[in-house]
Amino acid sequence: MDLGKVITAMVTPIHPEKDKVCKKRIHHLVNHLIANGSDGLVIAGTTGESPTLSHDEKIKLFRQVIETNDGRAKLIAGTGSNNTAETIAFTKEVAELGGIDAVLIVAPYYNKPNQDGLYAHFAAVAEASDLPVVIYNIPGRSVVNIEPETIIRLAKLPNIVGVKESSGNLDNISKIIAETSDDFQVYSGDDSLTLPILAVGGDGVISVSSHVVGNEMQEMIQAFERGEVQKAASIHRELLPLMNGLFSVPNPAPTKYLLNQQGISVGPVRLPLVDLNAEQGTKLQAILEGLSK
> Residues within the annotated binding site for pyruvate?
47, 206
> Which one of the listed residues 119, 136, 187, 257 is annotated catalytic?
136
> Which one of the listed residues 5, 74, 164, 256 is annotated catalytic?
164
- The values of phi and psi at residue 52, to 5°, are -100, 0
* Distance (Å, whole) CA 102 – CA 91: 10
164 is catalytic: yes
136 is catalytic: yes
Residues 6+ apart with CB under 8 A from 23: 60, 64
* Distance (Å, whole) CA 143 – CA 191: 21
Active site residues: 136, 164
